[in-house]
Amino acid sequence: MKSKINQNKSQVYKPNYLPLALDDLKEIIKYIAHKLEAPRAAENLIFKIDKEIKKISENPFRCRIYTSTENLKYEYRVLHVNNYSIFYVIDKQKIEIHRVIYSKRDIPQILVDNDTKTD
Protein backbone atom coordinates (compact mmCIF):
# COMPACT_ATOMS: atom_id res chain seq x y z
CA MET A 1 0.00 0.00 0.00
CA LYS A 2 1.35 3.42 -0.99
CA SER A 3 1.74 6.04 1.67
CA LYS A 4 0.28 9.54 1.27
CA ILE A 5 3.80 10.92 0.89
CA ASN A 6 4.46 8.77 -2.19
CA GLN A 7 1.10 9.68 -3.69
CA ASN A 8 1.86 13.40 -3.36
CA LYS A 9 5.24 12.99 -5.03
CA SER A 10 3.63 11.41 -8.09
CA GLN A 11 1.02 14.15 -8.39
CA VAL A 12 1.01 15.66 -11.86
CA TYR A 13 -0.37 19.11 -12.60
CA LYS A 14 -2.31 19.30 -15.84
CA PRO A 15 -0.90 21.91 -18.24
CA ASN A 16 -3.43 24.21 -19.88
CA TYR A 17 -2.40 26.67 -22.59
CA LEU A 18 -4.43 29.86 -22.58
CA PRO A 19 -5.45 31.12 -26.06
CA LEU A 20 -2.87 33.92 -25.97
CA ALA A 21 -0.07 31.42 -25.27
CA LEU A 22 -1.23 29.27 -28.19
CA ASP A 23 -1.21 32.37 -30.39
CA ASP A 24 2.33 33.11 -29.20
CA LEU A 25 3.45 29.60 -30.16
CA LYS A 26 1.81 29.81 -33.58
CA GLU A 27 3.53 33.12 -34.31
CA ILE A 28 6.91 31.84 -33.10
CA ILE A 29 6.67 28.68 -35.22
CA LYS A 30 5.48 30.62 -38.26
CA TYR A 31 8.35 33.08 -37.90
CA ILE A 32 11.02 30.39 -37.50
CA ALA A 33 9.64 28.04 -40.17
CA HIS A 34 8.79 30.61 -42.84
CA LYS A 35 10.60 33.89 -42.21
CA LEU A 36 13.85 32.24 -41.13
CA GLU A 37 13.21 29.27 -43.44
CA ALA A 38 14.11 26.80 -40.70
CA PRO A 39 11.19 24.36 -40.34
CA ARG A 40 13.38 21.78 -38.58
CA ALA A 41 14.40 24.36 -35.95
CA ALA A 42 10.71 25.25 -35.44
CA GLU A 43 9.85 21.59 -34.96
CA ASN A 44 12.75 21.09 -32.54
CA LEU A 45 11.68 24.12 -30.50
CA ILE A 46 8.11 22.82 -30.13
CA PHE A 47 9.46 19.42 -29.10
CA LYS A 48 11.74 21.01 -26.49
CA ILE A 49 8.99 23.28 -25.11
CA ASP A 50 6.65 20.28 -24.83
CA LYS A 51 9.36 18.29 -23.02
CA GLU A 52 10.00 21.11 -20.54
CA ILE A 53 6.27 21.65 -19.90
CA LYS A 54 5.99 17.95 -19.07
CA LYS A 55 8.82 18.36 -16.56
CA ILE A 56 7.18 21.29 -14.80
CA SER A 57 3.86 19.44 -14.71
CA GLU A 58 5.61 16.99 -12.38
CA ASN A 59 7.17 19.76 -10.27
CA PRO A 60 5.73 23.21 -11.12
CA PHE A 61 7.44 24.88 -8.15
CA ARG A 62 10.93 24.24 -9.55
CA CYS A 63 10.87 27.42 -11.66
CA ARG A 64 11.40 30.76 -10.01
CA ILE A 65 8.69 33.32 -9.41
CA TYR A 66 8.97 36.15 -11.90
CA THR A 67 9.67 39.47 -10.18
CA SER A 68 8.54 42.69 -11.77
CA THR A 69 8.68 46.35 -10.91
CA GLU A 70 5.00 46.50 -11.95
CA ASN A 71 2.11 45.17 -9.90
CA LEU A 72 0.90 42.14 -11.79
CA LYS A 73 -2.42 40.41 -11.37
CA TYR A 74 -0.84 36.94 -11.30
CA GLU A 75 2.12 35.36 -9.58
CA TYR A 76 3.90 34.17 -12.68
CA ARG A 77 6.59 31.56 -12.71
CA VAL A 78 9.02 31.58 -15.58
CA LEU A 79 10.50 28.68 -17.49
CA HIS A 80 13.29 29.38 -19.98
CA VAL A 81 13.55 27.30 -23.14
CA ASN A 82 16.22 28.40 -25.60
CA ASN A 83 15.56 32.11 -26.24
CA TYR A 84 11.98 31.99 -24.97
CA SER A 85 10.40 32.67 -21.60
CA ILE A 86 7.28 30.72 -20.73
CA PHE A 87 5.10 32.37 -18.10
CA TYR A 88 2.74 30.18 -16.15
CA VAL A 89 0.55 30.25 -13.07
CA ILE A 90 -0.08 27.35 -10.72
CA ASP A 91 -3.80 27.02 -10.08
CA LYS A 92 -4.91 24.15 -7.85
CA GLN A 93 -4.04 20.98 -9.79
CA LYS A 94 -3.20 22.63 -13.08
CA ILE A 95 -0.62 24.85 -14.69
CA GLU A 96 -1.98 27.70 -16.79
CA ILE A 97 0.48 28.74 -19.46
CA HIS A 98 -0.21 32.42 -20.07
CA ARG A 99 2.50 33.54 -22.49
CA VAL A 100 5.48 32.31 -24.51
CA ILE A 101 7.67 35.33 -25.23
CA TYR A 102 10.97 35.85 -27.01
CA SER A 103 13.31 36.72 -24.15
CA LYS A 104 14.71 39.90 -25.73
CA ARG A 105 11.28 41.55 -25.99
CA ASP A 106 9.89 44.02 -23.45
CA ILE A 107 8.61 41.31 -21.10
CA PRO A 108 7.45 43.58 -18.23
CA GLN A 109 5.23 45.60 -20.57
CA ILE A 110 3.88 42.51 -22.33
CA LEU A 111 2.88 40.98 -18.99
CA VAL A 112 1.22 44.21 -17.84
CA ASP A 113 -0.74 44.24 -21.11
CA ASN A 114 -1.53 40.55 -20.63
CA ASP A 115 -3.01 41.23 -17.19
CA THR A 116 -5.36 43.85 -18.61
CA LYS A 117 -6.50 41.50 -21.41
CA THR A 118 -7.47 38.74 -18.97
CA ASP A 119 -9.79 40.89 -16.86
Task: Identify whether 105 is part of a domain.
Answer: yes
CATH of the domain at 26: 3.30.2310.20
pLDDT more than 70, % of the chain:
88
- Per residue in 26-43, pLDDT (tens digit) is 999 999 999 999 999 999
In this structure, is residue 28 part of a structural domain?
Answer: yes
**pLDDT value, residue 71:** 84
Q: Which domain holds residue 24?
A: 13-117
pLDDT tens for each residue of 45-90 = 999 999 999 999 999 999 999 998 888 888 999 999 999 999 999 9
2 part of a folded domain: no
Spatial strand order of the sheet with 84-91 comes to 14-17, 94-102, 84-91, 77-81
Q: Establish if 52 belongs to a structural domain.
A: yes
Residue 5 forms part of a structural domain: no
Is 93 part of a structural domain of the chain? Answer: yes
Beta strands in the chain (DSSP E): 14-17, 77-81, 84-91, 94-102
Q: Does a structural domain hold residue 6?
A: no
Number of domains comprising the chain: 1
